[in-house]
Chains A and B, each alone.
Chain A
Amino acid sequence: MENLDELMRKKFDSDDPAGRFEFREEFWEQAQVLIEADEARRRKRRRWLIWWFFFGLCIAIGGWWGSGSWNSNRGSLGDEKSRLDGSSGNLGSNNGTGSPGGNGSNEAAGNKVTSGAEAGRGAAFGTKDGAGAGAQELNANNHGTGRLQDSKNSTIKNEGVPGNVQGAAASQSARIQKKTTGPGRKGQNNTPVNVAGLQSGSVAAGAADDKQPRNASNNPSEINKTGAGVNQTDGNTTTGPARPDSMAADLAARNEWKGLALFPALPVGPGYLELPKRTVDTQTVEAFVRLIKPLRESKFRFGLSATGSFGQASPDGKRLGFSGGAVVRYNLTQTWSIASGVQWRYLSGAWARDTAETGSEQLKYSFGYKLDTWNLETQGMHLIEVPVGLRWKQGAFALEGGFSPGFLVAVQGQLTKGHMESLQEGLTTETSKVWLEKNVYHAFAPSFFLGGEWMATRRIGLTLRGTLRPGKVGPKLSDTPPPANLFWLDAGLRWYF
């Protein structure tokens, strides 16, 4: 036996193949076709990678943009709320307009308050600020204008009064402007005048029905100051000279506007400020409040994930895989968190060539023949992974990257048995799943990942993640090096509890 091996070895070793095999151009043409096809495949793979990168980028930008618009929506809700809050100011200002309107005395005051709640407050307090000559102007935004203006002779035009009154009653903006050139000096009575004097003014008369004192100040002395101008105003007008008795003036004002009854809710009188009840659409407000209710973010969030994988081809040309598992997140800050989990991954393909496929046949002759075939194919790897990563969140979009140790659990194969015999027509086959030896693969499979998540809703997130598994799939058993540096993309869903 050894002689045969020796003979063969000697002959082939001493052989000069250059003389035996003649080169023909057609051989190179065939090789060139293969080389060009391979180059085209590589180009296509690069193009795919670029497209995937572009796709991921688009998703990232879309997610970021989407999260931005979501935030802006939240902002508008906030604005809506503040607008509602501002409306109370308007109401306040309306109340105020009644008061300074009523306090026609303030024509002497040099006070100017504008806009919103400030206007209301200013209006309410207008009387106390304005002693002396000057002008007082109260503006309440978003409302109609009622204007009351005194002429120099300290008369109040009647048409101005309803305007002001109406503005106050309808929650319109009231603008009360009085310009006097020191009616206090002209007035007949420079003595301190109380609110009764104010009420004697035509504007104040509108508030006469309400016994609530509407003056902003609880300090009678200040009221008296403001009252000074009023008396001057009142001197030539409808109510006549102010009576020192405030109650009497109040009564007079009621009589004056009895027929109108336009201010059923307008309070009058000094002493304290009380805003009337305002009618608010509570349903709308509650809806807004519900919408802008701050989200409670607990420190831990748990969820489930499922992804499909697409990556570089295995030696037998398979690219797909999938994974599923549980995720947990611990929020360090509003934006940063640590993410971890446990997931099972199936990576299809026969990654170790040494066990890619085996088979055998047996043919027996015994009054006919029997043929049995066996074919064993490697289907894929099952791994358990424990990804640990850092996550940065901006709005609804999050970036995460980290390290994922993986442990090979099993290698799945498929056994196909075939049977054919002379008395039986055709070949019968039977397939079954089998678990193959794992020693041709590395048991530990570390990988690194980088990806993003877009929270489509509060509980559901869409993820796209690239994973690189550096190093070789298995130990080198033959001269064919096992594949190395696997890369794949995971796209999937996460559902948070």
Chain B
Amino acid sequence: MTRSLRISVADDELDMRDFFEKMLPRLGHQVISVAETGRELVEHCRSLRPDLVITDIKMPDMDGLEAAAAIYNETPVPVIVVSAFHDPEFIQRAELDHVLAYLLKPIKLADLEPSIALALRRFEQFQALHKEAADLRQALADRKIVEQAKGMLMKVANVDEKEAFRRLQSLAADKNQKLIEAARMILAVEKALQPVQGR
């Protein structure tokens, strides 16, 4: 079974709110907030930071998809939509708004269980990929700066690449800094020493 999740739910119908509150704990999860409208759901998520959101679409004042988008903007959280409607427009919006499952009413508790597990798993994979991509992008940017700093040293100190890299390393070690920080420092100094241009 999946780990126990803190879940925020939203549905404008009392029967469904009761259902989630009573039945989700039977799957080992905890319902930390119950909302009647999209706006309420957004507020709950802002203050409680749930692990998972289960929401209806058609609700007064703000619909579930709009709420999901607003929540996702603040903190990424997996969202399962449970709706009686499956118009192409809704499905298209759901695709955009990082909805991880779209269940068509009527659903049974038995339908929710695998959906929750899958949605969570997909969300974690999604987040991991996100992080990996961000790390790679950062690594690439860092590498560029280090290369620039190396080139700078080679030119100014008239040394070869290997020596330039060694100097950069020892500078970082002396200052107790990371390599990228030392590289940035060198580039900053280089910029400061440059003659004023184009005045």
Do A and B make up one complex?
no
Residues of chain A touching chain B, judged by Cβ–Cβ distance below 8 Å, are none
Residues of chain B touching chain A, judged by Cβ–Cβ distance below 8 Å, are none
